[in-house]
């Protein structure tokens, strides 16, 4: 059985705290009604009233603690989600860099002239593919060959390079699906 991630654990604890909070709020409402009934029946100086008031104060104190816990858990969840997004972005960034580096060192053949002597990379999409803030795998790399035609352009798409870089492609797909699941 796969263990829960820290983020999943925090969300489960938050759900539990929420349920406990709702139970306590219901209990407080019932205790206040009980206090009203005791006042009518025995008066506010009675020992029953004092005991019920003590239970109410204890329950309210517990509710305050649960509210504080919920706020802390919500903060922790936001921080954990941010860290996870940063980890995923860093992985995507590294994979993007590897793909561009591979094609910078080993330029593809021009489909027209069948050589790579005059080929250069002119665009990578998304721009800023090598920045950790970009959360999208490379969609295409555009090349230009000026051997036969001035500025003849062609593109490689992920489907073109994945067979050549199967490991990088599979990792990029996993990372992209992880990002999609976070958003």
50-91 confidence digits (pLDDT tens): 999 999 999 999 999 999 999 999 999 999 999 888 888 888
Are 72 and 110 part of one and the same domain?
no
Is residue 19 one of the residues assigned to a domain?
yes
Element (H, E) at 122: strand 119-125
Q: Are 72 and 163 in contact (CB under 8 A)?
A: no
Angle at 157 between CA 152 and CA 162, to 5 degrees: 135
Cα separation of 116 and 132, whole Å? 30
pLDDT of 76 reads: 94
Angle at 4 between CA 76 and CA 79, to 5 degrees: 15
Is residue 69 one of the residues assigned to a domain?
yes
Split into its structural domains, the chain has a count of 2
Is residue 170 one of the residues assigned to a domain?
yes
Q: Round the average pLDDT of the chain to a whole number and report it.
A: 85
Q: Worst-scoring range by mean pLDDT, 21-25, 46-50, 98-102?
A: 98-102
The candidate with the shortest Cα–Cα distance to 63, out of 107, 99, 13, 28, is 28
Which class for 77: exposed (0-12), middle (13-18), buried (19 or more C-beta within 10 A)?
middle
Q: What digits encode the pLDDT tens for the residues 105-117?
A: 888 888 888 888 8
Q: What digits encode the pLDDT tens for the residues 134-155?
A: 778 889 999 998 887 777 888 8
pLDDT of 115 reads: 84
Tokens 């976070």 map to which residue? 182
Is residue 78 one of the residues assigned to a domain?
yes
- Residue numbers of the domain that contains 69: 6-85
- 29 vs 166, higher pLDDT: 29
Are 148 and 79 part of one and the same domain?
no
Are 123 and 159 part of one and the same domain?
yes
Q: Could you tell me the pLDDT band of residue 42, with boundaries at 50, 70 and 90?
A: very high
Are 77 and 122 part of one and the same domain?
no
Q: Which residues pair with 53 in a beta bridge?
A: none
């Amino acid at each position: 059985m796969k263990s829960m991630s820290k983020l999943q654990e925090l969300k489960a604890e938050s759900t539990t705290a929420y349920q406990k909070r709702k139970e306590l709020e219901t209990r407080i409402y019932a205790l206040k009604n009980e206090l009203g009934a005791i006042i009518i029946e025995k008066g506010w100086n009675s020992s029953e009233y004092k005991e019920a008031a003590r239970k109410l104060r204890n329950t309210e104190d517990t509710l305050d603690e649960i509210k504080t816990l919920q706020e802390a858990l919500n903060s922790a969840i936001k921080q954990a989600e941010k860290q996870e997004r940063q980890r995923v972005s860093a992985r995507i960034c590294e994979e993007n860099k590897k793909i561009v580096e591979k094609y910078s060192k080993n330029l593809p053949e021009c489909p027209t002239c069948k050589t790579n002597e005059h080929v250069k990379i002119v665009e990578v999409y998304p721009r800023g593919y090598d920045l950790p803030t970009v959360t999208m795998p490379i969609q295409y790399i555009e090349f230009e060959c000026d051997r036969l035609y001035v500025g003849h352009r062609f593109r490689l798409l992920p489907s073109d390079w994945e067979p050549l870089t199967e490991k990088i492609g599979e990792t990029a797909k996993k990372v992209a699906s992880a990002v999609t699941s976070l958003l």
